Structure 1
Amino acid sequence: MIELYYWPTPNGWKVSTLLEELGLPYEVKPVNIGAGDQFKPDFLRISPNNRMPAIVDTAPKDGGAAVSVFESGAIMTYLAEREGRFLPTDLRARVEVNQWLFWQIGGLGPMAGQAHHFRQYAPEKVPYGIERYTNEVNRLYGVMDRRLADRDFLAGDYSIADMAAWPWVVPHERQGQDLDDFPNLKRWFETIGARDAVKKGHAVGNEWRKPNIAEDEEARKVLFGQRAK
């Protein structure tokens, strides 16, 4: 059994989608990031960076003690390797997937997250921040659009690279982007979104989300006021 420590955000959706694609049984353990669940000692033992998602594999393939994994990219790699799917064993094909997985982790996710922050959550409008991160997300969408001009998926066959990137395109309108400007990306986005496993993974816990979190002062303090202590 996989225990999934989760909240319905793009990073959470990555892992719920992969679990659905793999057909693995899993139990969702909600981590309400607006209420501060990510700072509870039990969760910090699993995820010392006080971020979800995280997993605990209570029955790893080697038959040994339970394995806990934090950071979405590490989780996706672990699960894909565990099941031998969505991450090739061939050297060159594996490099392709890893390149695009890390591209999402290091680029698309953080930049889209900053666009969300300055466009929706910042207490006052900061024109430079809005323009800076909206433009950078636009550039990254362009990278994907060019990549997808002659292929169906980012790294050849459908892989964890696609599952990692897709959730960050879901809120494209909130990032100030129009998918009609990126026809190859739009085709890819719609193709992946039509998959049953993706629909199921994306739906996990959506009833928990608060549409007005930008107006929830206590949640804002928890989410955006964090320091080392």
Structure 2
Amino acid sequence: MVPPKKVKALSRADAEAIFSRFHEIEPEPRGELDYVNAFTLLVAVVLSAQATDAGVNKATKKLFALAPSPAAMVALGVEGIEDHIKTIGLFRGKARNVFALSQILIDQHGGEVPEARDALEALPGVGRKTANVVLNIWFKQPTIAVDTHLFRVGNRTGLAPGKTPLEVEKALHKKVPARFMLHAHHWLILHGRYICKARKPECWRCPIAQWCRFEPKTPPPNTLLPKHV
């Protein structure tokens, strides 16, 4: 992730206003990965590294129909998994990780996805971000998964300035009101994906622009057109 430009952190009152606005717009935000149970959620998140959710969903539709459990996934073998995820970036390494984590779930966790962070992060291909997604979505824990979108939004807006994903995550845990914590990372990721974009943020339609520290804010498209003489 690119080191962010330093901005002044927003106040707790501003953070309260921002998440209140997000809640007004979408009280129950959802992630965009498709899954049918805790295991397929875990696999989908592992596969989503450096890939789009839409691309992962397309590849996993048939995969999850055939292998919705660790035992079924192991039965496919690495090559069988590869055959279904060839359209996803880094598919060979991801296939090996999915096979290996499935075997570990069988051997060490009775075929179930563990609820403990340490156990999740010990699985092949699973880092802190992936563990946070699973803990949040499936186990309803108030974790925050910092991807590139959330990292950008946290720094650009002033909500949670930080040089690393972990710094941003810790800053958000201090800043986000407790009642909004469960959905905080979904709101911020979706905001970064569709409005606060990397190259040209759509500030003219941003619902939290009045509190955001980003300057200069991008004007509406019609003001970017050349003026006729």
TM-score > 0.5, shorter chain as reference? no
Give the structure with the higher percent strand: 1
Greater radius of gyration (CA): 2
**With structure 2 as the length reference, what TM-score do the two structures score?**
0.27
